[in-house]
Amino acid sequence: MFNNHFIKVVLLSSLLVPSLSAQELVVGYDGFYNRIKNSKKEQYVNTKIGVFLNNSQTGKHCQIENAFINFEGEITDVEVAADSELLLPFSKQLRDDKAQLHVNVTDSASCDLAFQIMTTENNTAEYSTLTLVKQIEEFDLFLGNMAGYFGRMNLPATVGVQFIFDETVDAYTTSGNLFKSGKQISLSQDEIIRDKIAGIKFSKQPLRIVPLTEI
């Protein structure tokens, strides 16, 4: 079986993530900075940690009204992507200043802070096998380094990638054969080898590309 779940906070060690129940989350920026910094290493070409708020009851992304970082009244607006990702700035100054992230949502249920390893770029609808294999290897390296020496021993292997869409799409191999349909389409290295897939193309660009791991 495979899993593409949001990365559990235990893998990210010391960051405290309170639930949002009063329509506003306020949390220190410094914990985010340290994790963003990890994805800035030269060995990672196209991998980052995405920051999201998930509804504690439905598991879906919370509806974010606005988000900003505040330091002694100085406001830095935080952009919210189409897939509800919080696009936080990478600023050593904000970290040193102990600035705080404020997020206002419209959900009535509580919202939990969640992190997901994902590609930095996904601005195309067609991917070669070479590109995907390199991405799978990079995801695996990223997960291993993030988990640390002891965590790595219990870390599931990265076996492929999963493409996330906002609606059902069709996926075709570059030879023109229908591969799969759905809002979440997975492709493992075993499938690439077994079906001799040279590449994959979709009817639209994905919202996100995330690791596919063994459970």
pLDDT tens digits, one per residue of 156-182: 789 999 999 999 999 999 999 999 999
Residue type, 41: K
For the chain, the average pLDDT equals 85
Alpha helices by DSSP H, listed for the chain, are: 30-38, 92-96, 129-152, 189-194
- Say how far apart CA 99 and CA 29 lie, in whole Å: 6
pLDDT tens digits, one per residue of 26-57: 899 998 998 888 888 888 999 999 999 998 89
Return the pLDDT at 24: 84
Percentage helix, strand, coil, to 5, in the chain? 20, 40, 35
Return the pLDDT at 16: 38
Question: Given the structure tokens 């509804």, which residue do they identify?
Answer: 55
Return the pLDDT at 153: 59
Instruction: Compare 200 and 13 and report the one with higher pLDDT.
Output: 200
Average pLDDT over residues 1-30: 55
Does the pLDDT value for residue 2 go beyond 70? no
Return the pLDDT at 23: 79
pLDDT band of 129, cuts 50, 70, 90: very high
CATH number of the domain located at residue range(s) 2-118 in this protein: 2.60.120
pLDDT tens digits, one per residue of 79-124: 999 889 999 999 999 999 999 999 999 888 888 888 999 999 988 9
Average pLDDT over residues 119-133: 94
User: Widest CA span of the chain, in angstroms?
Assistant: 58
Strand order in 74-77's β-sheet?
24-28, 100-105, 64-71, 74-77
pTM of the model: 0.82
- Among 74, 67, 127, smallest CA distance to 98 is for 74
Say if CB 50 and CB 35 are below 8 A apart: no
Residue type, 207: L
Return the pLDDT at 12: 33
Count the alpha carbons within 13 Å of 131 in the hemisphere toward its beta carbon: 14
Domain with CATH 2.60.120 in the chain: 2-118
- Say how far apart CA 186 and CA 164 lie, in whole Å: 9
Say if CB 50 and CB 89 are below 8 A apart: no
Return the pLDDT at 10: 32
